[in-house]
Amino acid sequence: DAGITQSPRHKVTETGTPVTLRCHQTENHRYMYWYRQDPGHGLRLIHYSYGVKDTDKGEVSDGYSVSRSKTEDFLLTLESATSSQTSVYFCAISESLAGVSYEQYFGPGTRLTVT
Amino acid sequence: AQKITQTQPGMFVQEKEAVTLDCTYDTSDQSYGLFWYKQPSSGEMIFLIYQGSYDEQNATEGRYSLNFQKARKSANLVISASQLGDSAMYFCAMRDYNQGGKLIFGQGTELSVKP
């Protein structure tokens, strides 16, 4: 199994509070992704990173920011949590976009509830 | 825009029988990759199988095979000899090389295996 951990695994927070989710990998993979999973929508990309300090937005990036100061860590921050951000958040990693290493491996997920 | 469609919200199959989960995709790219993931009730995303657009042979991984029909833009997952442990959500996904290799997911098919 790919070495990906997410913390916390569960969190309940109040509307308006900042929240940071952490993704940590031990695979030294270049690409890291944050997705959210909601009923009826499958998984949708929030942000991704293609290297240290190199990040870009996905399709549902409003209200989220990310940072990657080390290869192994990718942080997702909700600056001011809203109830619409209640979701399950998955981190994923990928070694490359070319060659045989196409697979994305997913972390265990973080269940976030905003009350 | 790229899109994945899974038209079967839920399916039932008898244990030990084969089952096909449908997936159609839409893309104007010549080079693309198609994936299937399994999500059991515990929530983790498990990579099952990958098919590249230039692969001439259908991908197989143990009891999983991907029926790739490029002209019809379909990438159906076939599970042979279903087991009770195959009960889960199954997601078809396509890689988008224009956005850091993100995965575009379908809405999923919930498979229930009956004893």
- Inspect the interface and report whether the beta carbons of A42 and B45 lie closer than 8 Å: no
Cis, bond preceding A8 (omega within 30 deg of 0): yes
Kindly give, in sequence order, each residue whose CB lies less than 8 Å from that of residue B3, ignoring residues fewer than 6 positions away.
Answer: B25, B26, B27, B104
**Per-position pLDDT tens, chain B of length 115:** 789 999 999 999 999 999 999 999 999 888 888 999 999 999 999 999 999 888 889 999 999 999 999 999 999 999 999 999 999 999 999 988 777 788 899 999 999 999 9
* pLDDT greater than 50 at residue A100: no
* Nearest by CB: A102 against B43, B95, B105: B95
- Give the one of B44, B50, B100 whose C-beta lies nearest to A103's C-beta: B50
Q: What share of chain B is helix, strand, coil (3-state, %, to 5)?
A: 5, 55, 45
Taking CA–CA distances from A5, the nearest residue in chain B reads B44
Instruction: Tally Cβ neighbours within 10 Å of residue B22.
Output: 17
Q: Which pLDDT band, with edges at 50, 70 and 90, does A2 fall under?
A: low
Between A109 and B2, residue with greater pLDDT: A109
> What DSSP string runs through A43-60?
EEEEEEEEETTEEEE-TT
